[in-house]
Amino acid sequence: MMGNPLFVDTMNAMGGNGIAMGYGEVFSALQTGVLDGAENNPPSMFTSNHYNAGTKFYAQTNHLIIPEIFVMSKVTWDKPSKDEQALVLKFSREAQMEQRALWDKSVAEYTVKLKVAGVEFVAALFLAGLLPGLLLGEMLAVYCLYLAR
């Protein structure tokens, strides 16, 4: 997983053993058994061939979503007219909605490809309230810790 303390702590709170590792090293680590799982989304799992390295289960925890964001400095933002700023906001929102739709479509397509390749998708039970509240509490504690910073 990414070398971000929030990500590692979240994985640990869910009962895993979060290990920060470069993305290019994950395939061989899965292949050799150094790792027994990897954190990722279906498009990345498929395109990086992690399912061919022994990863045959996909836990749908939805514990992390990395947003695609559009940013600019205040100096840059202050240069256009109010009408131009309104257009930037309008088109940014439209692009956001299109990106989400394209992403959802991509996830659905790669989920099918992974299932055809033999990967079993497992829904996270804590989302349905079926796992002990402790797990959810552990994750919430991690999120609160980082939100307070």
pTM score, whole prediction? 0.76
Provide the residue range defining the domain that includes 40: 5-147
- For the domain that residue 27 is a member of, what is the CATH number? 3.40.190.170
Total domains, the chain? 1
- Quick one: how far is CA 57 from the chain centroid? 16
pLDDT in tens, the chain (149 residues): 788 888 888 888 877 888 888 888 999 999 999 988 888 899 999 999 999 998 889 988 777 777 778 899 999 999 999 999 999 999 999 999 999 999 999 999 999 999 999 999 987 655 455 555 556 667 777 878 888 77
